[in-house]
Chain A
Amino acid sequence: MQTLRRTPLYERHASLGARLVPFAGWEMPVQYTSIVAEHRAVRTSAGVFDVSHMGQLSLAGGGAHDYLQARLSNDLDRVGAGQAQYTLLTNERGGIVDDLIAYRRGSDDYLLVVNAANVDADHGALDETEDVSAEWALLAVQGPEALQRLGIEVEPFTFREDDVLGIRCLVAGTGYTGERGCELGCSPDDAVALWDAILERGIVPCGLGARDTLRLEVCYPLHGNDISPERTPIEAGLGWACALDKEFTGVDVLRRQKEEGPAEKLVAFVMEEKAIPRQGMRVAEGGEVTSGSLSPMLDVGIGLAYVRAELAEPETKLSIDVRGRPKAARVVRKPIYRREES
């Protein structure tokens, strides 16, 4: 039994009455009041997530850019200092070791924010980086009113150092909900003060439960569910994050797979009957559900599944085996949920 790690905000979560669960070796809040209510707060106003469990790898100095450019799938030449990029770390088979965001701090200075469960794997594959996870607390403030309530502006996929509510932060226009907002990196010593100041602005504390349903509605893949070292970006629909005209680990496999077409593809689907799909359920026509939930915004079961490529077209009918009962579903275009333009 491994001891669970706690973020600097653990006491705050406990005193708010959060339901705390083990997640990637950390004791994390899954919900404070209700997943559905927290989800809707992020879609309609603003919510804050403690994501201090996520990992940070740093690499600075001569050759940092070339080192990462040769190992990450996306093209780092397309981002300048102060810009961030979604990218993948792949293995020799083209499988996805992790998905991450690379923050370019300077021409040869990068911070990588990676999944908590993959810090060791990432650090192993990117052996010249330094694991600086212990130096960072990370809060995600997300929702249509998030930036306004914090009194800041930040463009998507840009970042800077700045004071937010009186606390020195790395302010990044990134997130995992499909909403506008930011992620705020700060010293663990400042995390409680920042959290308290955020809540004072009427921003709703949200747990990992809502984070999961929010990302699923907008079809952001979750590593360990929808993507893994056994699945490639081409299968997962992440070819857009792979610069196949440059060299990186496993690129030959990906070039070939892109040309031949993958045997299976990750599709989004909605249930046409009352039922909630779950990870691991079989698709009768051939395939497997990798993520599933009720959509709090659409009030129907939704999910992601790998299916044979010929079943990947939108409107294709699928049958999901819900504990022995076949339930009708339909392939849809990603994202599953899109805000109505006002």
Chain B
Amino acid sequence: MAADESYPNELKYHREHDWARIDGDVATLGVTWYAQDALGEIVHFEPPEDGGSLAKDESYGEVESVKAVSDLISPLSGEVVEVNAAVVEAPETINEDPYGDGWLVKIRLSDPAEVDDLLDVEAYKQLVDEQ
């Protein structure tokens, strides 16, 4: 079952519809409710390599629906410390729980100051309303 629309207050957001949950120098990344809804039922998650490095605003992987492919844009720079293997096996988890079990990767931040560039929930909701 697809989740209901929501945008948690505690997350930071990127304009390309990706979210980050900051915990010290580690960030958990995923896609927002808006992104999964626009894509439809997600059937493939192409993850980055474990230990690989992600650059802010650049593609680090892909998610695919039956009809379309979408780049995953990293909201922050850092080194991949964990890929969510459960989502690789069951990509529909992203539709079911985009902020919980549907998280995609965890990274160790190389420049924590980049967090200041991200949108808070109000700014992101406004961006979604304008789409």
User: Which listed residue (A35, A275, A323, A325) contacts B66, Cβ 8 A?
Assistant: A35
List residues of chain B with CB within 8 A of the CB of A35: 40-41, 65-67
Chain A nearest CB, measured from B25 CB (Å): 30
User: Which listed residue (B62, B64, B67, B88) contacts A209, Cβ 8 A?
Assistant: B67
CB interface residues, B 47-84, toward A, < 8 Å: 62, 64-67, 69
Residue of B nearest to A325 (CB): B46
Q: How far is the CA of A296 from the CA of B44 in the complex (A)?
A: 12
List residues of chain A with CB within 8 A of the CB of B64: 276, 294
B44 touching A209, Cβ below 8 Å: no
List residues of chain A with CB within 8 A of the CB of B62: 323
List residues of chain B with CB within 8 A of the CB of A31: 40
B66 touching A213, Cβ below 8 Å: yes
Size range of the interface on B?
Answer: 10 to 19
List residues of chain B with CB within 8 A of the CB of A278: 69
Residue of A nearest to B65 (CB): A35
CB interface residues, A 186-241, toward B, < 8 Å: 209, 213
List residues of chain B with CB within 8 A of the CB of A36: 41, 43, 66
Q: How far is the CA of A36 from the CA of B40 in the complex (A)?
A: 10
Chain B nearest CB, measured from A210 CB (Å): 9
Q: How far is the CA of A275 from the CA of B66 in the complex (A)?
A: 11
A294 touching B66, Cβ below 8 Å: yes
Chain B nearest CB, measured from A163 CB (Å): 36
Q: Mark B14-49, 1 if CB is under 8 A from A, else 0.
A: 000000000000000000000000001101101000
Q: Mark A23-67, 1 if CB is under 8 A from B, else 0.
A: 000000011001110000000000000000000000000000000
Q: How many A-B residue pairs have CB under 8 A?
A: 35
Residue of A nearest to B88 (CB): A274
B43 touching A276, Cβ below 8 Å: yes
Question: Chain B interface mostly helix, strand, loop or mixed?
Answer: strand
B69 touching A209, Cβ below 8 Å: no
Q: Mark B68-111, 1 if CB is under 8 A from A, else 0.
A: 01000000000000000000100000000000000000000000
Number of chain A residues whose Cβ lies closer than 8 Å to a Cβ of chain B:
17
List residues of chain A with CB within 8 A of the CB of B40: 19, 31, 34-35
User: A293 on the interface (CB 8 Å rule)?
Assistant: yes
Q: Mark A247-258, 1 if CB is under 8 A from B, else 0.
A: 000000000000
A294 touching B69, Cβ below 8 Å: no
List residues of chain B with CB within 8 A of the CB of A294: 43-44, 64, 66
Chain B nearest CB, measured from A290 CB (Å): 16
Most buried by A among B65, B66, B88: B66
Residue of B nearest to A36 (CB): B41
List residues of chain A with CB within 8 A of the CB of B43: 36, 276, 294
List residues of chain A with CB within 8 A of the CB of B65: 35
Q: How far is the CA of A314 from the CA of B21 in the complex (A)?
A: 48
Q: How far is the CA of A34 from the CA of B65 in the complex (A)?
A: 10
List residues of chain A with CB within 8 A of the CB of B44: 274-276, 294
A296 touching B69, Cβ below 8 Å: no
Jot down 20 A-B pairs with beta carbons below 8 A, ordered by A: A19-B40, A30-B67, A34-B41, A35-B40, A36-B43, A36-B66, A209-B66, A209-B67, A213-B66, A274-B44, A274-B88, A275-B44, A275-B46, A276-B43, A276-B64, A293-B66, A293-B67, A294-B64, A294-B66, A323-B62
